[in-house]
């Protein structure tokens, strides 16, 4: 059981980092220096961690100091009164603005008070120190500060730019102190975070690209659907127009054919009437000769003397005796009588 617990604790220390590493929980002391420089422990965990205190140098008082006390600022810092300690260091910087030690300590107080922008600014000024050891520590602390500043940025692009600056600070710190294992650990840690961020950005970009492609495809399908619907509507309108034109043509044709039908009916009626008139005239014509003939016979009979037949009567008599006629022989046996002599019919 104890071995497992020790193994987990060791693993946690490797992940979170030792000493002043980014995300660590412990601070390692730095040896004191007799020179008036801000010696002490480097920043370890996040800005709000109270696991360790940064040991700041106690600046000697010099004549003419009206306000601000390095000793009081250090005491307030150790008591966790970081905001008040920052104010003390800022007052001191108003009189001694080129003191890199004051910038370094002001940066440490601002860092602990969650004022990361102010901390980065103070560490930036401290990095201009002529003391290479102080300069390396300023790079290191500014690297930590920039990492947490980038972590708070919601914009992945800006976060990546800030983390790149953090990587540069850790690299500069290692140039001044190549044996600093914490700086090397933090350098690899931030590089790994940058790589993960890059992968996330690529995935996000791919996702956006896929979404854009899907949107374009949906928009294209929608436009195609609208175009198809438009064509269908146009076809329906054309069909309706054709039907309307056909109905109108049929209506006009019906209106035009109605007078023609009426004319045809009139002509038929007139033809029928004409035919009827012709028949009546024919009947009247056939009836008139008979009457005239009858009248003529009557007139002729009246003009014929009594005891004689009229020519008409003689013709009728001949017609009635046609069936009774006999054919005479070609060579008669008897001598024909003298036709000149009248035959007696009595």
Say how far residue 307 (Cα) sits from the centre of its chain.
130
What is residue 88's three-state secondary structure?
helix
DSSP tag of 41: P
In this prediction, residue 306 carries a pLDDT of 62
In this prediction, residue 319 carries a pLDDT of 72
| Distance between CA atoms of residues 70 and 78, nearest Å | 12
In this prediction, residue 107 carries a pLDDT of 96
| Distance between CA atoms of residues 226 and 121, nearest Å | 59
In this prediction, residue 263 carries a pLDDT of 75
CA atoms within 13 A on the CB side of 128: 10
| Distance between CA atoms of residues 102 and 89, nearest Å | 6
Backbone dihedral region for residue 302 (phi beyond 0: left; psi -120 to 50: alpha; all else: beta): alpha
In this prediction, residue 303 carries a pLDDT of 62
What is residue 200's three-state secondary structure?
helix
Give phi and psi for 264, each to the nearest 5: -65, -40
DSSP tag of 62: -
| Distance between CA atoms of residues 211 and 204, nearest Å | 10
Rg (CA), the chain: 71
Say how far residue 271 (Cα) sits from the centre of its chain.
76
Distances (CA, A) of 188 to 201, 307, 332: 20, 174, 173
| Distance between CA atoms of residues 144 and 26, nearest Å | 14
- Which residues in the chain land under pLDDT 70? 1-68, 254-257, 286-309, 321-346
In this prediction, residue 8 carries a pLDDT of 42
Q: Which helix (H) or strand (E) holds 239?
A: helix 181-303
In this prediction, residue 336 carries a pLDDT of 54
Check if the beta carbon of residue 67 is closer than 8 Å to that of residue 91: yes
Q: What is the pTM of this model?
A: 0.51
In this prediction, residue 163 carries a pLDDT of 97
**Residue environment code for 313-324, b if the CB has 16+ CB neighbours within 10 A, otherwise e:** eeeeeeeeeeee
């Amino acid at each position: 059981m104890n071995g497992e617990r020790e193994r987990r604790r060791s693993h946690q220390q490797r992940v979170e980092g030792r000493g002043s590493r980014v995300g660590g929980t412990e601070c390692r002391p730095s040896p004191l220096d007799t020179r008036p420089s801000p010696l002490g422990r480097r920043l370890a965990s996040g800005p709000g961690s109270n696991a360790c205190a940064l040991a700041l140098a106690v600046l000697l008082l010099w004549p003419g100091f009206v306000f601000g006390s390095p000793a009081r600022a250090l005491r307030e810092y150790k008591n966790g009164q970081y905001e008040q300690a920052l104010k003390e260091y800022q007052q001191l910087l108003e009189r001694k603005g080129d003191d890199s030690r004051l910038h370094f300590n002001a940066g440490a107080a601002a860092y602990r008070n969650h004022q990361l922008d102010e901390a980065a600014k103070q560490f930036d000024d401290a990095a201009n120190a002529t003391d290479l050891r102080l300069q390396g520590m300023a790079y290191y602390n500014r690297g930590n500060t920039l990492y947490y500043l980038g972590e708070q940025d919601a914009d992945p692009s800006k976060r990546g730019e800030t983390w790149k600056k953090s990587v540069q600070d850790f690299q500069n710190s290692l140039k001044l102190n190549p044996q600093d294992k914490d700086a090397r650990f933090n350098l690899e840690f931030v590089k790994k975070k940058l790589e993960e961020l890059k992968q996330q950005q690529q995935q996000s970009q791919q996702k956006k690209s896929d979404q854009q492609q899907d949107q374009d495809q949906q928009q294209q399908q929608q436009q195609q659907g609208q175009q198809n619907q438009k064509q269908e509507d146009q076809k329906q309108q054309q069909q309706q127009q054709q039907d309307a034109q056909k109905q109108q043509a049929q209506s006009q044709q019906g209106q035009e054919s109605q007078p023609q039908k009426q004319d045809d009916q009139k002509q038929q009626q007139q033809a029928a009437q004409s035919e009827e008139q012709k028949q009546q005239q024919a009947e009247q014509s056939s009836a008139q000769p008979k009457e005239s003939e009858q009248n003529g016979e009557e007139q002729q009979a009246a003009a014929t003397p009594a005891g004689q037949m009229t020519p008409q009567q003689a013709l009728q008599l001949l017609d009635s005796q046609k069936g009774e006629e006999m054919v005479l022989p070609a060579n008669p046996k008897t001598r024909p009588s003298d036709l000149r002599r009248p035959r007696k019919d009595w």
